[in-house]
Amino acid sequence: MRISSVGMPFLDYHKSSMLNRTLISASQKNDADIFSFKGENENSGLSEKIAIIPSVNKTGLEKNIERQLGVNALNTQVKHFKNGETYVNIDGKIRGKDVYIMPASGDNVNENLMETYLKADAAKRAGAEKVIAVMPSFYYARQEKRASGLNEPIAARLNMDLLKASGVDEIITVDLHSASIEGFAGNDMPVTNLESMPVMLEYLKSKNLKNTVIVSPDTGGVKRADKLAKAIGCEKAIVYKYRHAHNEASAETLIGDVFGKNCIIFDDIIDTAGTIAEAAKLLKTRGAKDIYVCAAHGLFNGDAMEKLQNAPVKEIIATNSVKPKKDVIDKIKYVDMSSQIAGAMLDISA
């Protein structure tokens, strides 16, 4: 069983000599600033080993991965019948190859999952040597346990079982909400759990922040915040959060000193942004200077944009693990995970 938690930039992969990596300044993609890396492909013949099944509407992440690997995605048709069923057809040679399924880019989580299951089944039936689901944001990851009682499903486990049943052999993901989810894969489905912290750290270093403290927005993210604090070499603080209901939380207490300091709130997911907005308000009442937010997965659902616009936050930095929203506010900056994901793909197949 190969479970890997890869937290270093792409060049640390042993296959990474195939790509040259250079930093690009901010560029406009999908109406959002994306800070990324570009690679020059030196690997002829990789297209004979792997095949890429794209999403319906390619994201910037997908395009960057294809460019760095020098592999064009297969022509793939996805359509929905009037009754809601999904149809998939893949045009191209698959037999004997490692087939990578890029993350579905629709707005409906359940439709995206069904699309992934069908693509995996189609690839397996077409003779794929191995099917790898690239799922930077692992759906249902926050339902990894029964939180309120016995009459609840463990949806993260069910999703893993369905991926396996549909033909998926491996998974590449980014910053799982809980590392224990890897265990749901069993010993026959390797999970590569990449970390966003290295690209976040690189971006933060470019800001040249002084007198900094890393803040965990809740007690569940303390280990994550502690790791970034050690990498930067600064103190950390913790916000004690009380959750009233799903997507409703309030910041109750602060542990640590933030007075006169630049604060970096470090979380894995921003959904409706209630936790982040409340934490930022609490930090300001305690004398914090500028407040930055880092999150691996910027979902920004509901009125998240409005909350973040009104919150005392200078910048929100998220990876492009999910498709950027069309109405993204100026405060939000994206960092690119394509080099890390391309490196993981090479680690598996090249």
Q: Closest Cα to residue 280, out of 297, 299, 293, 261?
A: 293
Choose among 257, 226, 260, 254: nearest CA to 240. 254
Among candidate residues 159, 340, 195, 161, the one with its CA nearest the CA of residue 268: 195
Which pair of structure tokens corresponds to residue 75?
């022509």
User: With contact defined as beta carbons under 8 Å apart, do 112 and 88 qualify?
Assistant: no
> Which residues in 92-234 belong to E strands, given as ranges?
98-101, 130-135, 170-174, 191-194, 212-216
- Catalytic residue ranges: 241
Give CA–CA dist 236/224, Å, rounded.
Answer: 11
Beta bridge partners of 22: 38
From residue 165, alpha-carbon distances to 159, 160, 193, 271 in Å are 10, 9, 21, 29
- Structure letter (DSSP) for residue 314: S
Gyration radius of the chain's alpha carbons = 20
Structure tokens at 320: 């492009």
